[in-house]
Structure 1
Amino acid sequence: MAEHLPEVVTDDPAAISDLTDQAMEAAGREGIEVSEIYEEVGSVFEVIAAAMQHRDGSSPAADLTEFDLLAGRLSREANLTDAQARDLIERFGTDWETLLNEAYFLKELEAGRLQE
């Protein structure tokens, strides 16, 4: 994996999400099923985020989790509470575009501009 990571360390969830998509596409081209990947590593997003932050071999134990980083960014960019952002990530995964769409849909519902 280290050969394919950008040279910069980033905690940008969108960049990490792009790398996750690229990894999943590469696996698909090699005939590796998505279910096999999830069985092996759980969250590809979290694996890549940890690799980005700890390419020097340091321990991730004291850092914020990648989930925290993603929830924080979603909360800020979509004007959600932390709990709302975390709920959306748990329900819809880590795809940034999906999260933003769902966040804006939620805000529209709250504002009464849409009906459930």
Structure 2
Amino acid sequence: MSTRGINFLDRWMAEHLPNAMTDDPAAISDLVGQMLRAAKREGIDRDEINEEVDSVFEVIFYAMQHREGSRAEGDESDKTAEVALDLLAGRLVRETGITHEQAEELIKQIGSDWDALLREAYFLE
């Protein structure tokens, strides 16, 4: 994934994913469409985002399923889980200055609620 593509996906997810859990494929597809349209407006080609992420749908689906900090169970793709965690942790590190390990631990405890993550990360500084 290009740096520009991964940074865009990371930023978009942090700023636009709703603070609710869902497994509705139509809702996830709508979010993917919104993200791809936003990327296009910024001149970022879909291929830049898809170079390492097999499925943007799966990454967003995973993020939406784990809004409250629950972890994947069963045979969900480990790569998808790692990418989603790494994207969010990287954004949190850049925004707050905490370590990547601290960011991952916060995400595991809190979930992907961006406002809650920021609030807790600032206490770690």
Q: Normalising by the residue count of structure 2, what TM-score does the alignment of the two structures yield?
A: 0.46
Higher relative contact order (CA 8 A, sep 6+): 2
Q: Which is higher, the Rg of structure 1 or of structure 2?
A: 1
